[in-house]
A and B are shown apart, each in its own frame.
Chain A
Amino acid sequence: METLVLSGLIGWSVWVTLKHFSPKLVQRGLYTLGSHWAKAHSPLLQKLGQRLISFAQAQAAGGHCGSTGESCNSCQACEPQLTSPQHAKTQASPTQEEPLHWR
């Protein structure tokens, strides 16, 4: 039991830390893994793959689309849910097109 609790806690900590340092990398990793599984022959693996893709999309910061990193406004992760009459989210604007330089 103790080993199970410790393993769970350590696994969660590694997950949170990885997500903190590189959320996009984690999200893309999950998305890629989910995509591979979704193409597998096993129906169970396919289902798991779909779940993983949805999870990766939901993990995308600010409701951004998991596949591209930008908001597509049509996938489940990007589309605001109308479960309540009031709902809001922040859309990160694309920022600098050219690198800033001071010369």
Chain B
Amino acid sequence: MDMASHAATLNIALVGNPNCGKTALFNQLTGSHQKVANYAGVTVERKEGLCQTPNGSKLRIVDLPGAYSLDAVSPDEKVTRDVLRGCYPGEREPDVMVCVVDATNLRLHLRFVLELMTLNRPMIIALNMMDNAQKQGLDINVAELERQLGVPVVETVAIKRQGTDVLLNALQTSQWITPEVAPISLDERHQRVRELLGTVLRRQPEKQRLDEQLDAVLLHPFIGLVVLATILFFMFQAVFAWAAPLMDGIVGGVETLGALVTAPFPEDSAIHSLLSDGIFAGLGNVLVFLPQILILFLFILVLEESGYLPRAAYLLDRLMFSAGLTGRAFIPLLSSFACAIPGIMATRSIQDPRDRLTTILVAPLMTCSARLPVYTLLIAAFIPKQTVAGLFNLQGLVLFSLYFFGIASALIVAYIMKFMRRDKSEHALLLELPAYRMPNIRDLIFGLTERGKIFLKRVGGIIFALTVILWVLSSFPSPPADFTGSAIDYSLAGRIGHFLAIIFAPLGFNWQICIALVPGMAAREVAVSALGTVYAMSGSEDAVAEQLGQLISQQWSLPTALSLLTWFVFAPQCISTLAVIKRETNSWKTMTFAAGYLFALAYFASMGVYQLSLYLIS
């Protein structure tokens, strides 16, 4: 696009309080698939997209992080403030603001609308979530609201694609209405909102009861915690119980495909070895965990969509507060269960820089989905498939305890960091509880498809690439004719593994594990594919034919498996996470500290677990 057309494209800013549906509207307008969820603080970066109005006008839509006012207190709110005031580096001033308002919470959202009007910029109000407002018995006189505010008001239901055509029609006009409002005090703004609500809103209170009844149970200091523990517990049980048939199907599929693909090549050829020992032995062992990852994300998506997550943050606030974490850290830490990278980025919604730093430093301790293949491989290999107390799956119980172990470690580390701070001031949790919402099946399917794509992209991208490199390192240099050991012992990977094994001997790691840890720095799942490749390269034909889980259960001791599990609870085996820590803190020192303390923790905790379990077994 040339500069002339670039300037001709209208710049539209989507702005509003957190969790009012800005990103859902952005997705509808631009055809994008940005993450949406039913809690505040999902968007922490500005996002831009293009769309066309019915008359062919080009619009550049900028989705801004939610803010409660223009007096920014957190890094994400500062982005919104600066873009709207036209002082954000490299960002054009918005030509029009589309102020997205949650129709079910006009009291809060209109306050920000009134503040935005003082910017004296063209504005359109998108009155979103009108369906929920009607369900709650809220009767909003939209025409009167439009008259009182003096700017166009459009009704939308962004998640159901309703109202976007009307909004685009309103945007394509060149007759912008610019409110000319002088700044008023906060008290005056409150008063003005009360007056507005008195004239435009009629409420039928009896329809609001369901949310309150649910909150009475789910936010109860004791029952609420029991419900939360039950949900999490059920989630991890399901990860093991529901995934088994699908995993068996994938194992069968990979084996059949492997046999078909390798059949045309002679068994002693390099390409046969690469396909069989490298790619199928390596990637197949990672691919098999797709069902478990999808089941875990199904639960996370349902919890996100339903509006339960902020309630969980509220329930755990006291615990987090006593550990030196702010309640606002809950959402970033919870995001870290998917991946530490969005979790660390989500800390931008934390106002206090010390709280933010503490959250960034403990986020890698949350069990991300990349650990799942490692955990489930070791659990399936070493923990018997049996029922405890006639109800619980023992393997699910162990997985639950590993997640719990990660959370407990994060709280302990945060508690220690609390004492390292000079300023010990604490900040109370102020969190908006969204309305409960029935998860939308279409959104769930879309969310799961996206997660599946991300996983498969990793398998087909970096995991595949590292598997090939590891195969090369495990195959070359070839041993001389008189070499008596396995060929991999003579290879570069074998030598590295044997060298590292000296360092990791107190942890009970053999040289095969040591080799797997090196490419595992790129992504934790790579460790599983690397183990598959290394064992396939070093094993006999019978061993290659066996599944990795069975193989390691025969070759490793229980203390070694426990030690490796402990290693993966703590070790920052993810270079991308370290890079994000550097970017978000703008400090090499902090990144080095994070990597150092996590590796030290991993080393000594694994050594402790290994030595203790050896002692107990002997």
Question: In the assembled complex, which residues on chain B have CB atoms less than 8 Å from the CB atom of A71?
Answer: 90
User: Quick one: given A82-B1, A96-B75, are A91 and B269 in contact (CB under 8 Å)?
Assistant: no
Query: Quick check: is B52 within 8 A (CB to CB) of the other chain?
Result: yes
Query: Quick check: is A103 within 8 A (CB to CB) of the other chain?
Result: yes
Bound complex: CA A3 to CA B274 (Å): 12
B465 touches A99 (CB 8 A): no
Query: Quick check: is B358 within 8 A (CB to CB) of the other chain?
Result: yes
User: Quick one: given A5-B271, A70-B90, A90-B47, are A100 and B34 in contact (CB under 8 Å)?
Assistant: no
* Chief secondary structure at chain B's binding surface: helix
A88 touches B587 (CB 8 A): no
User: Quick one: given A13-B468, A88-B48, are A95 and B271 in contact (CB under 8 Å)?
Assistant: no
Q: How far is the CB of B64 from chain A (nearest CB, A)?
A: 10
Of the four ranges (under 10, 10 to 19, 20 to 34, 35 or more), the interface on chain A belongs to 35 or more
- State which of B26, B47, B61, B584 has its C-beta within 8 Å of the C-beta of A96: B584
User: Quick one: given A13-B464, A79-B1, are A99 and B90 in contact (CB under 8 Å)?
Assistant: no
**Binary per-residue interface labels of chain B (464-478) against chain A in the complex, 1 for a CB within 8 Å, 0 otherwise:** 111011001000000
User: Quick one: given A20-B522, A21-B522, A92-B45, are A99 and B79 in contact (CB under 8 Å)?
Assistant: no
Q: CB-nearest residue of chain A relative to B49?
A: A88
B45 touches A16 (CB 8 A): no
A17 touches B270 (CB 8 A): no
**Binary per-residue interface labels of chain A (65-103) against chain B in the complex, 1 for a CB within 8 Å, 0 otherwise:** 000001111100001111011111111111111111111
Question: In the assembled complex, which residues on chain A have CB atoms less than 8 Å from the CB atom of B203?
Answer: none
B46 touches A91 (CB 8 A): yes
Interface residues of A in 6-30 (CB under 8 A from B): 6, 9-10, 12-17, 20-21
B586 touches A17 (CB 8 A): no
Q: CB-nearest residue of chain A relative to B43?
A: A90
Of the four ranges (under 10, 10 to 19, 20 to 34, 35 or more), the interface on chain B belongs to 35 or more
A100 touches B360 (CB 8 A): yes
User: Quick one: given A9-B274, A86-B31, A100-B590, are A91 and B48 in contact (CB under 8 Å)?
Assistant: yes
A95 touches B50 (CB 8 A): no
Query: Quick check: is B109 within 8 A (CB to CB) of the other chain?
Result: no
A-B contact count (CB 8 A): 144
A93 touches B422 (CB 8 A): no
A100 touches B575 (CB 8 A): no
B48 touches A89 (CB 8 A): yes
Q: How far is the CB of A14 from chain B (nearest CB, A)?
A: 7
B30 touches A95 (CB 8 A): no
Query: Quick check: is B441 within 8 A (CB to CB) of the other chain?
Result: no
Query: Quick check: is B480 within 8 A (CB to CB) of the other chain?
Result: no
B586 touches A85 (CB 8 A): no
B31 touches A73 (CB 8 A): no
Bound complex: CA A79 to CA B423 (Å): 45
Question: In the assembled complex, which residues on chain B have CB atoms less than 8 Å from the CB atom of A90?
Answer: 34, 45, 47-48
Q: Could you show 24 A-B contacts with beta carbons less than 8 Å apart?
A: A6-B270, A6-B271, A10-B468, A17-B466, A17-B522, A20-B465, A21-B575, A74-B3, A81-B1, A82-B58, A85-B31, A87-B31, A87-B49, A88-B32, A88-B49, A88-B61, A92-B45, A93-B45, A96-B587, A97-B586, A101-B353, A101-B357, A102-B358, A103-B423
Given A16-B464, A74-B6, 17 more A-B residue pairs with CB atoms under 8 Å apart are: A5-B271, A10-B468, A13-B465, A13-B468, A16-B462, A17-B466, A20-B465, A79-B1, A86-B32, A90-B34, A95-B348, A95-B584, A95-B586, A96-B584, A96-B586, A100-B587, A101-B587
Which 5 pairs of residues, A with B, have the shortest CB-CB distance?
A88-B49, A86-B31, A88-B32, A99-B587, A16-B465
Q: Which residues from chain B sit less than 8 Å from chain A, CB to CB?
A: 1, 3, 6, 26, 29-32, 34, 44-52, 58, 60-61, 75, 79, 89-90, 269-271, 274, 348, 353-354, 356-358, 360, 417, 420-423, 461-462, 464-466, 468-469, 472, 522, 575-576, 583-587, 589-590
